[in-house]
Amino acid sequence: MREGFFTQPLYWLSRGFVYLLLLLKYRMRVTGREHVPRRGGAVIAANHCSYLDPPVMGGCSNRRVVHFMARDTLLSNPVAKWFFPRVGVIALDRTKGDLGALKKAIATLKDGKVVGLFPEGTRSPDGRMRAAKGGIGFLIAKSGVPVVPLYISGTFEAFPKGAKKFKSSRVRARFGPAISPEEIRAAMPGKGDYEAVGALVMDRIRRIADEADQNAGE
């Protein structure tokens, strides 16, 4: 079923509010939205260095509802426990291999929906990209859907890990061409080599970052 406004009003109202805030406070600019498929299962995978990254990913993805995977500790208070499941968040226990959450995410993708991931698993403490966690490669390989790489910049300057207050910054969100399921399968030199899948995704995100740096220097 298509996740339009009338089927997911809370998500779209929240997304619109977040997007407006990002535009006003951080003058957020988005490029490459056309790379996000209009229908069918897809993963959006981005770098991660700030609590602002999930709102940016959701705000800039105006074509589809994004079902985020988030650590279960974010649902520790009653308001969050009520709100997050209703906007499509999939809770993940990071203290163990949460197979149940991975299966739920794969089922969500096979149902033709979009799942938002941060392959590094946690926020980078210095803004530099890290290697992907192994479970992400497993999820992507098993789901058999395209992966849209997304490079987010400016959020580390605005609200880095450990910060107590927000700072001024200019936020940019850049989508790149989708990685096809065929490319993902070809990236696995051996059966079960899920780390290679995660490495491929992070490489594509870095390519977008490199292109952004080159364009900034021109």
**Interatomic CA distance for residues 191 and 80, integer angstroms:** 39
Query: 171-214 pLDDT, tens per residue?
Result: 999 999 999 999 999 998 877 789 999 999 999 999 999 999 88
Residue 129 lies in a domain: yes
DSSP collapsed to 3 states, 65-116: CEEEEEEHHHHCCHHHHHHHHHCCCEEECCCCCCHHHHHHHHHHHHCCCEEE
- Look at residue 92 and tell me whether its pLDDT is greater than 90: no
Q: Which domain holds residue 131?
A: 9-217
For the sheet with 90-92, list strands across it.
29-31, 172-175, 147-153, 42-46, 114-117, 66-71, 90-92
Residue 209 lies in a domain: yes
pLDDT given at position 1? 58
Q: Given pLDDT bands bounded at 50, 70 and 90, which one contains residue 141?
A: very high
Q: Given pLDDT bands bounded at 50, 70 and 90, which one contains residue 96?
A: low
Count of structural domains, the chain: 1
CATH code for the domain in which residue 15 is found: 3.40.1130.10
**Amino acid sitting at position 133:** K
Residue 96 lies in a domain: yes
Q: Mean per-residue pLDDT for 155-176?
A: 96
Residue 1 lies in a domain: no
Query: 16-71 pLDDT, tens per residue?
Result: 999 999 999 999 999 999 999 999 999 999 999 999 999 999 999 988 999 998 88
pLDDT given at position 73? 83
**Interatomic CA distance for residues 95 and 90, integer angstroms:** 15
